[in-house]
Structure formats: C-alpha cells, structure tokens
Amino acid sequence: MDPQQRREGAPVPRPPTGDSSAVLSVFLAFIVIFAMILIPSASNIPSASNIKSSLSILHQVPEGHVGVYWRGGALLRTITGPGFHSKLPLITQYEPVQVTLQTDQVTDIPCGTKGGVMINFEKIEVVNRLRKEYVYETLRDYGVHYDKTWIYDKIHHEINQFCSSHSLQQVYIDVFDQIDEKMKDALQVDCTRYAPGIEIISVRVTKPTIPDRIRRNFEQMEEERTKVLIAIERQKVVEKEAETSKKMAISEAEKNSNVSKILMEQKLMEKDSARRQEEIENQMYLARQKSQTDADFYRLMKEAEANKLMLTPQFLELKFIEAIADNTKIFFGDKVPNMILDQRLLGNFLQEVSRNISRKGKADA
C-alpha cells in the first residue's frame, strides 16, 4: 500500500497466519506421535522408566523377563513374554519382572549373640527365582519389590533370630557350616506358605566380623587346637609306624616259621624216604638170605638123601679099606691089633651100621 492510500484511511490488509499455525500444529502432533510410538520404555533407567512407559505405545520385554501391566493403579492379569508389545500410552504402565535365577545380596546385617556380643555379617547372597505361573499373585500381594519383603527383610530377621539363640563360639565356629542350610530352609518355609511363587535355590553366608579382641582369642585358640591336632597326628604316625614294624616283625616271624616248617617237613620226608628205602633193602636182604638158606637147606637135604643112598655096607667097607690103605703108620711088636686083621669084626661092624641106618630111615618115614 502506498502512503497516499494510508493517508486517505483505506483499510490495511493483514498477512495470512492460518497456514503457518496449521503447519505448526501438524508438526507438533507428528513429534508427539513419533515419541509415543518410537520411543520404547527404558527399564534400565528407573527415573526415565515411568515417563517413557507412560508415553510409549511399543515397549520391549527382555529375555528372562515377563511384562506386567497396571491400568489406573490396578494390576492386570495380562502377562507378556520377551519381545515387542504394545499398550495404551498414558493409561497403562508397564514393568519387566525377572523370572530366571537371580542373586540378591543382603549386606551389613548386625546381630547380637546369646552372650551379648555384637557381630556383623557383611554379605549374604540368596539365589532365588520367581516362578512364571505365580507372577500375578506375587506382584498383586507384595508388589514389584517382593524380594525386599521375603528376602532382604526376612534375612535380617532370621539372622537375628539365629544369633540370639546361639553363643559366639557356635555362630563363629561350631555351627557356622550349618547357617547356609538353616537360612535356606527358614526362607523357603515362609515363602512356600505365604508366597509360593518364590523359590529359594541356595544361601551363601560369609564369615561374620567380630571384635578384634575376641577374634585374637579365637585365633590363639585355633593355634592351640592346631598344635593339639598336630600332636595327635604325630602320635598317630608314631603308632602307625610301630604297628607297621610290629606287623613286619610278625610277618618276618611267620615267614621264618613257615620256612622252618617247610624245612622240617622236607627233612622228615627225607628221613621217611630213607627209612622206607632201608626197609626195602632189609626186605630185599631178608629175601636174599631166606632164598640162600632155603637153597642151602635144599642142598643139604639132597646131599643127606644122596649120602643115605650111598651108605651101603659095601661102600663103607670100601671106604674103610681105603682109609686103612692110606694109613702110613707101621706097628712093631709081638702082637698086631685085631682090628686090622680081623675081617669078621669089620663085617659085623658094617652090618650093625647098616641096620641102624635102615631103622632110622624107617622112623623118619
């Protein structure tokens, strides 16, 4: 518009503003939709989780977790698995809940023993798992932080109960190896009764810290106990060595006894063999002597029978004549013995001898 027209009071035209405001509205709406659709909830950042989970439509459930939802503060029965899912923005809230094994560490648990000594458990680890089929009931009754009620607070309670009923000696040394199982059983009993979806896998209890003065006393006691154990073990070694020597001596004596027994049996067997050999030789000698005697007896019997047959008067007369003939003696004197010259006396003698032999033979028959 020129100055002349402005001076004459002509109406001044306004620039069009409707197009620019529409474009701006569309741009802002696009940004909001982009944020609501494309920005997933970040469960790793608690401060940003609620905001983004309220604004986002798409959200991601990580592996090992399930997705639970609230609408207007009420827990929904809808439970989703790992992956991408959608929800109503600003109306439905989402939270991932782990259903695999997880380890909760409870730290700095002070407790007083039965004797009044204060000790502190620096760390207790509880391995647990929330069963998938009990997620809704557990979160409905105890909320997302169910483990604070049934693990963290429960561990504090059970440890204090345990310490108050045991002395420092028992807690620190005697029954320390049983605390893990006792805590596990205590937690599981109450969880099974009130929160069956929580499964306690194991409990690991670290050694508690005790006052330095008492700890030094325990260390000295442990040193003395170690010395006693060393002495006992040394005594066992000596006894074992003595027992081994005794067994070796007994074994050596038994070996010598067995050797002597074997040698004695060998000598007895040799003597018995010699005795049997001598008996056999004696039997052989007796047999030979008997055979020789029988032979001599038979020979003499045969000679006697032969002589009996040969002793006839004629043979005896022949022998008598031969004996007289062989006699070289010469007799001198006025008278010669009649025996030499009297043939009749010789015949009578021979006949008498023959009769005696005949009678004897008949008697023997």
pLDDT tens column, 203-241? 999 999 888 888 788 778 778 888 888 999 999 999 999
pLDDT tens column, 92-148? 898 999 999 999 999 999 999 988 889 999 999 999 999 999 999 999 999 999 999
Count the residues in the chain. 365
Write down the pLDDT at residue 200.
94
Answer whether CATH 3.30.479.30 is correct for domain 102-210. Answer: yes
Residues 317-324 have a mean pLDDT of: 73
Write down the pLDDT at residue 12.
46
Structure tokens at 77: 């029965």
Write down the pLDDT at residue 180.
92
Q: In degrees rounded to 5, what are phi and psi of residue 213?
A: -60, -45
Write down the pLDDT at residue 301.
87
The answer to whether 99 touches 131, Cβ cutoff 8 Å, is yes
What DSSP state is assigned to residue 167? -
pLDDT tens column, 242-299? 999 888 999 889 888 889 889 998 899 998 889 899 889 988 998 888 888 888 888 8
C-alpha 88/C-alpha 59 separation (Å) is: 11
SS3 266: helix
Structure tokens at 291: 């055979």
Closest CA to 218 of 172, 176, 177, 166: 172
Give the CA distances from residue 181 to residues 163, 209, 344, in Å, rounded to whole numbers and listed in that order.
Answer: 15, 20, 150
Q: In degrees rounded to 5, what are phi and psi of residue 204?
A: -120, 115
Q: Tell whether the model's pLDDT for residue 323 goes beyond 70.
A: yes
CA dihedral sign of residues 35, 39, 40, 45: negative
Write down the pLDDT at residue 128.
95
Q: Is 0.85 surpassed by the pTM of this model? A: no
Question: Between residues 272 and 319, which one has the greater pLDDT?
Answer: 272
Write down the pLDDT at residue 16.
47
**Residue 4 pLDDT class (50, 70, 90 cuts):** very low
Q: How many CB atoms lie within 10 A of CB 53?
A: 22
C-alpha 223/C-alpha 227 separation (Å) is: 6
Listed by start position, the domains of the chain span 34-98, 102-210, 237-306, 311-364
Write down the pLDDT at residue 130.
94
